[in-house]
Amino acid sequence: MAKFSSFEEILSWQKARELNVSIYKVTNSNDLFNKDFGLKDQIRRASVSISSNIAEGFERQTTKEFIRFLYIAKASAGEVRSQLYLAFDIEYINKKEFEELKLKTNEVSKLISGLLKYLHSTL
């Protein structure tokens, strides 16, 4: 198991938490996005899924289970990125918002990949 005493110490969880706040803010601040209940709910759930799966996997207290949940978290990051493209394409978010959110999402995904690589090396 990774050398963390709590999931709150994990950088990818911390960055995913920041991403959650950013996603909630952007979906609340734009009237079109706020009224599109389907996309708003889906992107929020996918974002929250990232941090939730990191936490849940860690709490399982086995490396194999942690790895399994990290893959789910990474997949959710891909889902968020895909939904960001749609939000940009239909002009719910502007280019600056899109780039900032995509950058944050990519950062979380890369951090998860690094953690996965480390965990696989410990098996």
Does residue 22 lie within any of the structural domains? yes
Whole-model pTM: value is: 0.94
pLDDT at 1 over 80: no
What is the domain-level CATH number for residue 13?
Answer: 1.20.1440.60
68 lies in a domain? Answer: yes
66, part of any domain: yes
| Tens-place pLDDT, residues 59-74 | 998 999 999 999 999 9
pLDDT category at 3 given cuts 50, 70, 90 is confident
Tracing tokens 């968020």 back to the chain, one arrives at 80
Task: Please identify which residue in the block is written with the tokens 């941090």.
Answer: 51
Of the candidates 29, 34, 26, 33, the residue with the CA atom closest to the CA atom of residue 97: 26
Residue 96 to residues 22, 67, 76, 88, 99, Cα–Cα distance (Å): 13, 33, 22, 10, 5
| Beta-carbon contacts of residue 45 (< 8 Å; ≥ 6 apart) | none
The rounded distance, in Å, linking the Cα atoms of 46 and 77 is: 7
* Nearest C-alpha neighbor of 54 from the set 118, 117, 98, 109: 109
pLDDT tens, 4-39? 899 999 999 999 999 999 999 999 998 899 999 999
**pLDDT bracket for residue 104 (50, 70, 90):** very high
Residue 62 lies in a domain: yes
**N-terminal to C-terminal alpha carbon distance within the chain:** 9
Question: Which amino acid, residue 35?
Answer: K
pLDDT in tens, 38-54: 999 999 999 999 999 99
Which domain, by its residues, includes 100?
9-121
Q: Is residue 3 part of a domain?
A: no
Q: Is residue 1 part of a domain?
A: no
The total number of structural domains in the chain stands at: 1
Of 59, 61, 63, 101, whose CA–CA distance to 82 is shortest? 101
In a domain, 25, yes or no: yes
